[in-house]
């Protein structure tokens, strides 16, 4: 299994975000494998770039590029008054979340700016204008049914044959977390177009078979 260099793992651990190290290592291994297809590796849900570091380094190693899509205004649970709100990423001038500056600093500190294309926009709109195949799609955006479904319907069809679909925050037990990512995970399996490759805590890796 491919693992990131120590300095990349250190940058990942230092970055603002929510992904545990074990899931990060599984994501990196998936990205390294998918990178062999020579196609871009795409992430839905950038936040401050914690997981982007891993995708970017795997893309660098493979000679391809990581693409990360986010409107940078924060998902539902990151708004004021919610569990994951962080006041340090609020733009005081407009009074709204803006994670883009923090994300850019994260990439620069990790030395990975040249290996990432950051798309600032809403996932369904970006998916509609995206033309090519992808080696990997990592869905880690909004966790409502609407957002998770839009991310799945917009991006899963872009995964090339043999490429990987990775879904974060998959919790079969409702007591552990929201069910929207779990529902799109089941939908992917039931479609007949994906088979499960690995399970690491809440991270699921699926391969496109058809």
Asked about 85 being catalytic, the answer comes back as no
Residue 91, beta-bridge partner list: 96
Say which of 71, 72, 143, 147 is annotated catalytic.
143
Among residues 36, 55, 35, which one has the least CA distance to residue 44? 55
Q: Is 61 exposed, middle or buried (0-12, 13-18, 19+ CB in 10 A)?
A: middle
Residue 166, beta-bridge partner list: 138, 205
Residues annotated as catalytic are: 143
């Amino acid at each position: 299994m491919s693992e990131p260099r120590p300095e990349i793992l250190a940058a990942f651990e230092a970055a603002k975000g929510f992904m545990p190290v074990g899931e990060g290592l599984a994501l990196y291994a998936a990205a390294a494998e998918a990178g062999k297809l020579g196609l871009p590796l795409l992430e839905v849900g950038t936040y401050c770039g914690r997981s982007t570091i891993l995708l970017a380094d795997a893309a660098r190693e493979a000679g391809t590029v990581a693409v990360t899509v986010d409107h940078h205004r924060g998902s539902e649970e990151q708004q004021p008054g919610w569990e994951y709100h962080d006041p340090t990423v609020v733009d005081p001038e407009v009074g709204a979340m803006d994670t883009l500056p923090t994300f850019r600093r994260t990439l620069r500190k990790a030395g990975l700016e040249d290996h990432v294309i950051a798309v600032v926009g809403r996932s369904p709109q970006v998916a509609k204008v995206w033309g090519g195949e992808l080696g990997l799609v990592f869905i880690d955006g909004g966790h409502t049914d609407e957002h998770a479904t839009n991310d799945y319907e917009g991006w899963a069809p872009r995964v090339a044959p043999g490429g990987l679909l990775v879904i974060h925050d998959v919790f079969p037990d409702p007591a552990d977390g929201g069910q929207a990512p779990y529902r799109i995970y089941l939908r992917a399996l039931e479609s007949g177009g994906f088979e499960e490759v690995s399970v690491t805590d809440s991270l699921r890796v699926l391969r496109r078979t058809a």
